[in-house]
Amino acid sequence: MAHTTDEKLTVLVYSDDRNTREQVTLALGRRPAADLPEIEYLECATTPAVLRALEKGGVDLCVLDGEAVPAGGLGLTRQLKDEIYGCPPVLVLIGRPQDSWLAAWSRADAAIAQPVDPVALAEAAATLLRARVARRTPVHH
């Protein structure tokens, strides 16, 4: 599938910790997989910023920090899945692998344990973005 050079994917990264946001953007880079368009990042440090960004639309993937304070990414994920029509896929960063049940409760589309493994994060993000791109791309007969 060929992509035009001006097509970009938007990834929203939420954490109150600037270092966590930076880890995510560095791990994903400009393009998490060769078959995907380039990524533009929307970095959000607060829940209201996330909600405003999603209300505007155009977000293809949310990466939310489950350990963020005061509003953790897991509770926020559940809220987004309940309240945002056509909510983009959500990948949550969880504190420990045994927190994966919380990710399931939140209805996250994927979960990665912290500290962030760049390869695992890029693979999970690429999988979710491919599905998003496939739904967005019109089928020509």
CATH of the domain at 130: 3.40.50.2300
pLDDT of residue 2: 44
Q: What is the pLDDT of residue 21?
A: 96
Asked, for residue 18, whether it belongs to a domain, the answer is yes
Is 1 inside any structural domain? no
| Domain interval for residue 73 | 8-136
Give the Cα separation of 16 and 43 in Å (integer). Answer: 10
User: Which residues are within 8 A (CB) of 32 and not within 5 positions of it... i.e. 6 or more apart?
Assistant: 39, 122, 123, 125, 126, 129
Q: Per the structure, how many domains does the chain have?
A: 1
What predicted TM-score, i.e. pTM, was given to this entire model?
0.91
pLDDT tens digits for range 32-69? 999 999 999 999 999 999 999 999 999 999 999 999 99
pLDDT mean by block of 10 residues, the chain; 141 residues: 65 97 96 94 97 95 95 94 94 90 94 92 96 76 51
Report helix angle 47-56 to 73-83, nearest 10.
30
Peptide bond into 70 cis (omega under 30): yes
Per-residue confidence (pLDDT) for residue 99, from 0 to 100: 85
Residue type, 31: R
